[in-house]
């Protein structure tokens, strides 16, 4: 199972609606009802998807023993594609046409014969699809944190769309992706600060191509579904400053968190003018190239970092717009007597990691939506312009 061992990659989805209070047999039965079932004799659709037990690609069983851990439900979305490669389909057609043409006195194939060949090839392909020869399957891990009404899953793009659609169809509940914009709303709205959220506009960290009056337009945000996701990029700019200039110690509602940017940092021009930079190696965030990129209007789009909090260390990459964690290394679990105990301990560590990330983001959002932000922003601008330490990326 995707969260039971190794590194973890995920984004979060809020579960909206009348949520269950605990994992029970009814939920397991609903998963079984909407599991992916393959027709034995029918031609499969090009894309098929449904739930899977999650232990392996053919796991169609759902039980307390294999799917309920602590107060969470662990399962998977299975997505199958059934598609004949275009080159192979073309080869079938050419071979059939050549065989038919060879039997004609003219050596050419007629229009009617071409139509018959296409029908023959279609039937051949359908028979091969029925055998599963071209079936390609993948599992997308799903962990439902029922008490906190959150789904953890690495689903993105079309996989995320399928996850949300099937979850709604199965449980009658809506999944809302928790990106930078939606998280900020969830933090500010309960405090009666929705207007403050709506008034947030992009901050200028460096002078734009057209001068100080030009504010960044974040072209990648303009193409996305959430107009406030630029807050994630600003969060990492703020956190970069905290890490480099202020020793990375941040007080949060989750406690003290120490942040270190590590190994890699990706930046892109917020004005859509000066392109991208992808820096790799130890000390990459402190390199001359990184600060130079910031001076030209680039902001952070992805970073690897170390978090120290609660006596534990977490190593991960973070996508700021979706707040997706990649290749997250959870602390080692000491003395787990059984695989179940190990998994449940890892779930607790996963929750802690998200609590610390939310704590950092919450500290930023409080500052960002306050009158103190201009002062913080001025400090970040001065730090960007300040001659930086010469640290060569390895």
Residue 134 near residue 128 (C-beta atoms within 8 A): yes
Tokens matching residue 185: 């709303």
pLDDT band of 247, cuts 50, 70, 90:
confident
Of 267 and 226, more confident: 267
Distance CA 10, CA 72 (A): 16
Cα 28 to chain centroid distance, Å, stands at 26
The predicted structure's pLDDT at residue 392 = 45
The predicted structure's pLDDT at residue 129 = 84
Least confident window among 130-144, 306-320, 348-362: 130-144
pLDDT band of 215, cuts 50, 70, 90:
confident
pLDDT band of 100, cuts 50, 70, 90:
confident
For the residues 48-61, what does the mean pLDDT come to? Answer: 94
> Around Cβ 36, how many Cβ atoms within 10 Å?
18
The predicted structure's pLDDT at residue 393 = 44
Nearest to 323 by CA among 176, 135, 114: 176
| Overall pTM surpassing 0.85 (yes/no) | yes
Residue pLDDT, tens place only, 328-373: 999 999 888 899 999 999 999 999 999 999 999 999 999 999 999 9
Of 62 and 385, more confident: 62
Of 24 and 389, more confident: 24
For the residues 304-310, what does the mean pLDDT come to? Answer: 95
Tokens matching residue 30: 């609903």
Query: Is 387 a residue whose pLDDT tops 80?
Result: no
For the residues 47-61, what does the mean pLDDT come to? Answer: 94
Distance CA 389, CA 394 (A): 15
Residue pLDDT, tens place only, 153-177: 999 999 999 999 999 999 999 999 9
Average pLDDT taken over every residue of the chain: 91
Residue pLDDT, tens place only, 197-207: 999 999 999 88
For the residues 214-232, what does the mean pLDDT come to? Answer: 89
- Token pair 């100080």: residue: 212
Query: Is 390 a residue whose pLDDT tops 70?
Result: no
pLDDT band of 41, cuts 50, 70, 90:
low
Burial 138-170 (b: 16+ CB within 10 A, else e): ebbbbbbbbebebbbbbbbeebbebbbebbeeb
Distance CA 327, CA 316 (A): 6
Distance CA 303, CA 301 (A): 7
The predicted structure's pLDDT at residue 300 = 96
pLDDT band of 1, cuts 50, 70, 90:
low
Give the 3-state secondary structure percentages of the chain, helix then strand then coil, rounded to 5.
Answer: 40, 25, 35
Distance CA 393, CA 281 (A): 5
């Amino acid at each position: 199972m995707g969260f039971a061992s190794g590194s973890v990659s995920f984004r979060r989805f809020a579960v909206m609606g009348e949520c269950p209070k605990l994992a029970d047999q009814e939920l397991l039965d609903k998963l079984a009802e909407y599991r992916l079932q393959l027709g034995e004799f029918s031609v499969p659709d090009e894309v098929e998807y449904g739930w899977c037990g999650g232990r392996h690609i053919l796991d169609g069983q759902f039980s307390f023993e294999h799917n309920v851990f602590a107060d969470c439900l662990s399962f998977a979305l299975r997505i199958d594609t059934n598609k004949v490669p275009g080159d192979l389909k073309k080869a079938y057609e050419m071979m059939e046409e050549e065989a038919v043409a060879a039997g004609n006195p003219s050596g050419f194939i007629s229009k009617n014969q071409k139509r018959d060949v296409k029908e023959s090839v279609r039937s051949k392909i359908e028979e091969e699809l029925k055998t599963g020869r071209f079936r390609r399957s993948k599992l997308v891990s799903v962990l439902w944190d029922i008490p906190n009404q959150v789904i953890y899953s690495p689903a993105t793009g079309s996989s995320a769309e399928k996850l949300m659609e099937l979850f709604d169809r199965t449980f009658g509940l809506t999944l809302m992706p928790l990106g930078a914009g939606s998280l900020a709303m969830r933090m500010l709205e309960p405090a009666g600060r929705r207007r403050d959220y709506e008034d947030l506009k992009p901050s200028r960290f460096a002078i734009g191509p057209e001068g100080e009056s030009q504010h960044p337009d974040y072209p990648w945000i303009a193409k996305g579904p959430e107009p406030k996701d630029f807050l994630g990029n600003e969060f990492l700019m703020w956190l970069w400053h905290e890490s480099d200039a202020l020793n990375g110690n941040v007080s949060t509602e989750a406690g003290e968190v120490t942040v270190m940017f590590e190994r890699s940092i990706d930046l892109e021009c917020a004005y859509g003018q000066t392109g991208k930079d992808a820096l790799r190696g130890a000390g990459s965030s402190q390199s001359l190239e990184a600060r130079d990129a910031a001076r030209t209007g680039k902001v952070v789009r992805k970073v690897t970092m170390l978090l120290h909090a609660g006596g534990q260390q977490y190593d991960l990459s973070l996508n700021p717009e979706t707040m997706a964690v990649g290749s997250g290394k959870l602390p080692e679990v000491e003395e787990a007597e059984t695989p179940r105990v190990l998994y449940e301990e890892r779930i607790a560590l996963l929750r802690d990691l998200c609590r610390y990330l939310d704590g950092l983001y919450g500290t930023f959002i409080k500052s960002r939506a306050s009158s103190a932000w201009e002062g913080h922003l001025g400090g970040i601008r001065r730090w960007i312009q300040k001659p930086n330490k010469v640290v060569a990326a390895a």
